[in-house]
Amino acid sequence: MIRYLTSGESHGEAIVGVVEGVPARLPLTPDDINTHLARRWLGYGRGGRSKIENDKVHIYSGVRFSETLGSPISFRIDNGAYEKDKAGWPEKMAVDGDGAGIEKVTLPRPGHADLAGLQKYEFEDIRPVIDRSSARETAMRVACCSVARRLLNEFGITVGSHVVRIGDVGFDEPEDWVERRNALLRDGGARALYEAADESATRMLDDDMTERCIEHIEDTKKQRDSLGGIYEVVVTGVPPGLGSYVHWDRRLDGQLVQAICSIQAQKAAEVGDGVRNAHRPGSKVHDPIIHGDERDVSTGPYARRRNHAGGIEGGTTNGMPIIVRGYMKPIPTLIKPLDSVDTETDEAQPTRYERSDITSVPAASTVAEATVAYTIANAFLEKYGGDSLPAIRRHWEADEEARTGETNRPDDAG
């Protein structure tokens, strides 16, 4: 199993990460990671920090001559804000000293971890809560999970995403986007999907909708407010049989919902048309089984004409693309003040504005790709695991051959 740990504060010197359990002999270069770090900065509506950061990963260990060694891999990403934004972060975030003369933050911001964190850790200063609960941490998550993504790519499994709604503007029903999405999946799997989405300033598959969302973001900015939204993560090339129904914690649907909701500000997730399915009769929901030769986007001898289940039945993949949707709440830092209470004086006070995004749904969708890739990679390793890439490939090829009667050696799917 691949595990990862991240450490680092948003305005500290750097964030660091360690990934353990990666098989040996997996090709890996900093570019495999930096590509996705750059994608995390995509999206209209990002705040000033996007102009400061130029995330690049430094790999310290676990990789030699562009291949993993089977040993833990360690990473560092420097925080541009630490030096560049001239706010005195080296002093404010100093590792040593006693903090004398450093102003405390005592006004908790609604919707942030501020008050809950202050109470939990018995701090007098909210700064440590702000700095660790910040979504800056997702840069390192993307880095760590890009290793899992690289592993999946070796087996033709790709992960992509696109945004379907920002605040009030977006598609209402999956039928409004599935045709366009499935055409991309047929052409080039989930990689074609994310590449098409990356072309749009809001990561949407429709130019008109992109324009309408940009206007909506601009209007919201004028009203000094913020927005959330909905996005979809899709995984293609997934063999049937990942995950399991035999025990609660092996159910892949449960793991995927956790993967999405583990990201800051993601407050709901659904597998397939999960939410809408609850409103409809079974005959319109469950996906009839057909022979694989009639298949659309799937692997193996069986397929489905539709995919309301999102590729998972009984907590186990059924060979159809995996579809998970994430729901992000509006950004909690608002230009418009909200009521709060100073925790030092107990005086009622409005919150003060700091640098912030109006919306980060496009960025969140790329982080969700990463956490989903990590979850799928572990389900894949549970079934086909081995110490090295050649060992895993032997297990996978034997299974593919038994299931399909042929060996499909995919090209590196990217």
Ligand X SMILES: Cc1cc2nc3c(=O)[nH]c(=O)nc-3n(C[C@H](O)[C@H](O)[C@H](O)COP(=O)(O)O)c2cc1C
Nearer to ligand X, 276 or 329 (CB): 329
- To ligand X, the closest distance from the beta carbon of 334 in angstroms equals 8
Site stretch for ligand X (CB under 6 A), options 205-213, 238-246, 319-327, 357-365? 357-365
Footprint (CB under 6 A) of ligand X, residues 126-145: 133-135, 138
Paired tokens of 377: 């990679």
Task: Please check whether residue 258 is in contact with residue 249, taking contact to mean a CB–CB distance below 8 angstroms.
Answer: no
Nearer to ligand X, 33 or 309 (CB): 33
Paired tokens of 186: 């047929």
Q: If binding is defined by CB under 6 A, does position 313 make contact with ligand X?
A: no
d(CA 309, CA 303): 12
Task: Please check whether residue 321 is in contact with residue 174, taking contact to mean a CB–CB distance below 8 angstroms.
Answer: no
- To ligand X, the closest distance from the beta carbon of 43 in angstroms equals 9
Paired tokens of 52: 């400061």
Q: For 280, which DSSP code?
A: S
Site stretch for ligand X (CB under 6 A), options 5-13, 80-88, 352-360, 386-394? 352-360
CA atoms within 13 A on the CB side of 25: 9
Number of residues that bind ligand X (CB under 6 A): 20
Site stretch for ligand X (CB under 6 A), options 55-63, 117-125, 326-334, 380-388? 326-334
Nearer to ligand X, 135 or 140 (CB): 135
143's torsion region: left (phi>0), alpha (psi -120 to 50) or beta? Answer: alpha
Work out which of 55, 232, 273, 357 binds ligand X, going by CB under 6 A. Answer: 357
Work out which of 364, 379, 389, 392 binds ligand X, going by CB under 6 A. Answer: 364
Site stretch for ligand X (CB under 6 A), options 31-39, 315-323, 358-366, 389-397? 358-366
d(CA 133, CA 248): 29
Judged on CB neighbours under 10 Å (0-12, 13-18, 19+), 307 is buried
d(CA 322, CA 325): 10
Nearer to ligand X, 298 or 343 (CB): 343
Footprint (CB under 6 A) of ligand X, residues 96-125: 112-113
Judged on CB neighbours under 10 Å (0-12, 13-18, 19+), 352 is exposed
Work out which of 30, 314, 332, 385 binds ligand X, going by CB under 6 A. Answer: 332
Residue ranges binding ligand X (CB under 6 A):
47, 112-113, 133-135, 138, 263-265, 329, 331-333, 356-357, 360, 363-364, 367
